[in-house]
Amino acid sequence: MSAARNGYRDSTNRPVVAVTGMGIVTSLGQGRADNWSALTSGRSGIHAIERFPTEGLRTTIGGTVDFVTAEPLCAPVLSERLADLAIGEAVEQSQAGRVGDFPGPLFLAVPPVEMEWPQRQTLARAVNGDGPPDYSTLVEAARGGGYESLYRLFAFAGVADILADRYGTKGAPVSLSTACASGATAIQLGVEAIRRGECDAALCAASDGSVHAEALIRFSLLSALSTRNDPPEKAAKPFSKDRDGFVMAEGAAALVLESLDHAMARGATILGVIEGCGEKADSFHRTRSSPDGHAIYGAMQAAIDDAGVSADEVDYVNAHGTGTPENDKMEHLGMETVFGERHAQVPISSNKSMIGHTLTAAGAIEAVFSLMTMAEGRLPPTINYDTPDPAIPLDVVPNTARDAAVRRTLSNSFGFGGQNVCLVLAAEPA
Amino acid sequence: MSEERRPVLITGVGLVSALAEGLEAHWAALDVAGGAAPPVDRESYSPYPIHPLVEVDFDQQIPKRGDQRQMEPWQRIGTYAAGMALDSAGIKGQTEILSSTDMIVAAGGGERDIAVDSAVLGEIVNRDEFGTILNERLSNDLRPTLFLAQLPNLLAGNISIVHKVTGSSRTFMGEEMAGVDAVRAAYARVASGQSEICLVGGSFNAARHDLILLFELGGYLWESDWCPVWERTDRGGGLVPGSMGAFLVLESADHAARRGKPGLARLDGVASERTTRGPGAAGNAAAGQLNALRTALTGAPLAVLSGASGVEPATSEERTFVTQLAKDHDASVRAAGTAIGHGFEAQFPAIVGLATLVASQRSLYPPRDGSGVELPAASPIGQILATCWGHWRGEGMALVTALDAG
């Protein structure tokens, strides 16, 4: 053991970052236990959308979280409720700080919210104008006053403001978006802050409660969504030959990160370690990866490098695995490039086959599942894998969970806008 | 806090606003007797004045028309300013450096299609159940690519595509606080050795009905004839949105030296905080931030560039804070919002950009203020303290030092 690697410091003498608390909510349920049980029994959380009428839409299914109430039901309120449930569970498990006094900053991935149609309609109705309403009508209504709470709802800083107050996090909360990589970015920001010595602990959370009609239609217009509406639970088919898009979904996850010495000093239970974070942006296209895959395998390799390990030491990959024709093909290319001859033997499974694509929250949700995979020694499956794609010869843990000893997991997140973030998580400090 | 801090240089600034394009043109517009007065559009969003962007030839930084068409104006402004910053830093087109250049963007939400929204609103306003008609109209009327022109992280995406900045890409959200934390994170990463070179900034398009609506919900807009920021406090206060794009290139002194780039100024610290704005809370936070930066104050003549929005009561509180600060440090104050308006996510990067300009000129431009806060400044200016209190949340501060002033 080198002098630098003393257990609390990694191979480049940075503080080791431990996970001491985790919380999760998805369409499969609330909390770690329910989610893990559903996930490893191969259950799907995808169902017909009932939240709004789907008549006339090409896609009518989703992984909405319907057992959590939000009033009014809109993206910022539901996203805040979901984040609150996940953070509450993580903080309780961690026991870091005191209730309402978390000893570090908040990094929160949230969907970009904006006023929704019910609010626009309410404003338009508040004014008795001549002729059809337009933005001047809405502004006239706003001038009547009394809408400060509506402003705070749709200000980008709004959700984090509520959560920072409730949990007593320190400093300015950072709200962020790197599209479908957002959850991983939230974790990365926490890791970096701890490594810089700015804080001993960080609360990293990601939430998405934004399945409403307009959001669904926007993704649908980009031809990104599965249209295999019946039966809903069979729609998400990552790595299958007949995959036809992702399924929009909701959820949230939170992780309490601490420097290992801080966690050990207070006798906390170490749930795992974030060993490495890797990033590589793609400059090819707004929604597609560079055909040579360099940004995807660049991010995967960067995470492995940052962890100070080699690809041979990675036992399992938690896939981005959206089930779009493009993503899964490129992710396979990334596997081939990073793992070489081993690529078809390293198990890789997609949680999204069961929970759908939780968008902003996905990177954090899948990091929690990755840590549980290692702790439980059981690989969650890729369900709906009935027609393998011969162009993607991977061990996707087809259809049923499998016991396996996993010491180290690579978790992939690839976003629209070319933002790719990968994490290397380990069961225990090296 | 971390033990070791490397010096962080500002080696590039891209700034475009209502006032001018580029640092030189900003100085020419600012350094005039009686102070700068930015163009005001009093009509388009009446009764709210806005500062429209100076006329810009987007082809200069976004040569492909196809790329321009994929962006709404807020993204075009930001991608343009980012290109200016890369030019200024001398790394435009330098593929190897750009492929390891990090990026943090502070972004708001994208622009809605006002015509589609208005048409849909007309259809649904009198219906109790409007789900089905909404599905039909949005499915048929929304441009598929509009979504991408609206997503906050697609400003960074466009900068990667157009300028090939691909080391890393993060987008912070949350109005002014996003801009402050973006600069703070970029600074901290370079200072700690986590990054060698980082492009950081944001953009804001004031000419938007959807944002005028949003800000009026909160009651934040100034709705009389334009006047300087400090003069608004006893008339109820309010902000005048200003279109702007502001990007900085932050770089470790070592990295800049290796490529022979002298730098424009040094960034000596960035602080961010969020108070709930009880009476005196923001002032206390700012006092704490100043205290943390105190060891970096060299005693060289100081200027204060305030990001005060004009919104009350924060602007009155900030006036008290900067007035005392000016007295304690024999400093002169300018409200950046008077010169360029208020640009939310872009405000703090723009102020740090203006501070870099003042540092490189070693001189502060003349005041434009009838309230007595702004006074003529002594020369040469050695350091600039930039403040940025958000219109609702977020308190930020940065210290910029002239390179030949210690």
DSSP line for B106-139: E-------HHHHHHHHHHHTT-S--HHHHHHHHH
Mean pLDDT over the full length of chain A: 96
Same domain, yes or no: A129 and A168: no
Residue A6 falls within a domain, yes or no? Answer: no
Residue A76: inside a domain, yes or no? yes
> Are A306 and A319 in the same domain?
yes
A214 vs B70: CB contact, 8 Å cut-off? no
- The answer to whether A357 is a known catalytic residue is yes
Domain B8-110+151-401: give its CATH code. 3.40.47.10
Which pair of tokens denotes residue A339? 């793992």
Residues 213 to 242 of B: which have CB under 8 A from any A CB?
213-219
The verdict on ipTM greater than 0.95 is yes
pLDDT of B378: 86
Residue ranges in B41-198 assigned as alpha helix (H): 65-69, 73-89, 95-98, 114-124, 131-141, 146-150, 153-163, 175-192
- Comparing CA positions, the residue from A424, A322, A320, A296 lying closest to residue A371 is A424
Known catalytic residue at A277: no
* Mean pLDDT to the nearest integer, B23-35: 97
Delimit the domains of chain B by residue range: 8-110+151-401, 114-142
Establish if B177 touches chain A: CB-CB under 8 angstroms: yes
Given an 8 Å threshold on Cβ–Cβ distance, is A148 in contact with B219?
A: yes
Confidence of residue A6 (pLDDT cuts 50, 70, 90): low
Question: Which residues partner with B389 through β-bridges?
Answer: B395
CA torsion angle B231 B234 B238 B241 (round to 10): 0
The pLDDT value recorded for residue A2 is 37
Q: What percent of chain A has pLDDT over 90?
A: 94
A404-426 pLDDT, tens digit per residue, is 999 999 999 999 888 999 999 99
Write out pLDDT tens, residues A344-393.
Answer: 999 999 999 999 999 999 999 999 999 999 999 999 999 999 999 999 99
Q: Tell me whether B343 touches chain A (CB under 8 Å).
A: no
Tell me, yes or no, if B54 comes closer than 8 A to chain A by beta carbon.
Answer: no
Residue A184 falls inside a structural domain: yes
CA-to-CA dists, residue A173 to B180, B210, B274, B286, angstroms: 11, 26, 7, 17
How many other C-beta atoms lie within 10 A of the C-beta of residue A100? 11
- In this structure, what CATH number is given to the domain that contains residue A323? 3.40.47.10
Contact between B173 and A177 under an 8 Å Cβ cutoff? The reply is yes
**CB neighbours of A405 closer than 8 A, spacing ≥ 6?**
A315, A377
For residue B1, what pLDDT band results from cuts at 50, 70 and 90? very low
Q: What is the pLDDT of residues B85-104, one digit of tens each?
A: 999 999 999 999 999 999 99
- Which chain B residue is nearest to residue A196, measuring alpha carbons? B2
| A135 plus A283 within the same structural domain | no
Are residues A142 and A245 part of one domain? Answer: no
Residues of A in contact with B114 (CB under 8 A): 134-135
Same domain membership, residue A137 and residue A261: no
Q: Which of residues 181-200 of B touch A (CB under 8 A)?
A: 181, 185, 188-189, 192, 194
| Same domain membership, residue A216 and residue A138 | no
Q: Does residue A57 sit in the same domain as residue A131?
A: no
Residues of B with Cβ-Cβ distance to A171 under 8 angstroms: 272-274
Task: Find chain B residues with C-beta within 8 A of A276's C-beta.
Answer: none
Whether residue A9 is contained in a domain is answered as no
As a whole number of angstroms, the distance between CA A230 and CA B321 comes to 63
DSSP character at residue B53: P
Residue A29 located in a structural domain:
yes
- Among A98, A126, A154, give the residue marking a domain's end: A154
H or E segment to which residue B336 belongs? helix B336-340
A150 and A21, same structural domain?
no
Residues A197, A185 within the same domain: yes
Q: Does A3 map to a domain? A: no
User: Which entry of A204, A262, A277, A320 is annotated as an active-site residue?
Assistant: A320
Please report which confidence band the pLDDT of residue B369 belongs to, taking 50, 70 and 90 as the band edges: very high
Looking at the structure, tell me whether residues A342 and A225 fall in a common domain: yes
CB contact under 8 A, A172 and B172: no
Pick B217's closest partner by Cβ from A151, A176, A189: A151
DSSP-derived pairing of the beta strands B265-273 and B197-204? unpaired
Query: Which residue range(s) make up the domain with A121?
Result: 117-154
A142 and A277 part of one domain:
no
Tell me, yes or no, if A262 is annotated catalytic. Answer: no
Asked if pLDDT for residue A3 goes beyond 80, the answer is no
Number of domains into which chain A is organized: 2
Q: Classify residue B118 as left (phi > 0), alpha (psi -120 to 50) or beta.
A: alpha
CA distance A125 to A119: 10
3-state class (DSSP) for residue B391: coil
pLDDT, one tens digit per residue, over A153-169 is 999 999 999 999 999 99
Between CA A229 and CA A216 the distance in angstroms is 14
Is it the case that residue A243 has pLDDT exceeding 50? yes
Tell me, yes or no, whether A255 and A277 share the same domain: yes
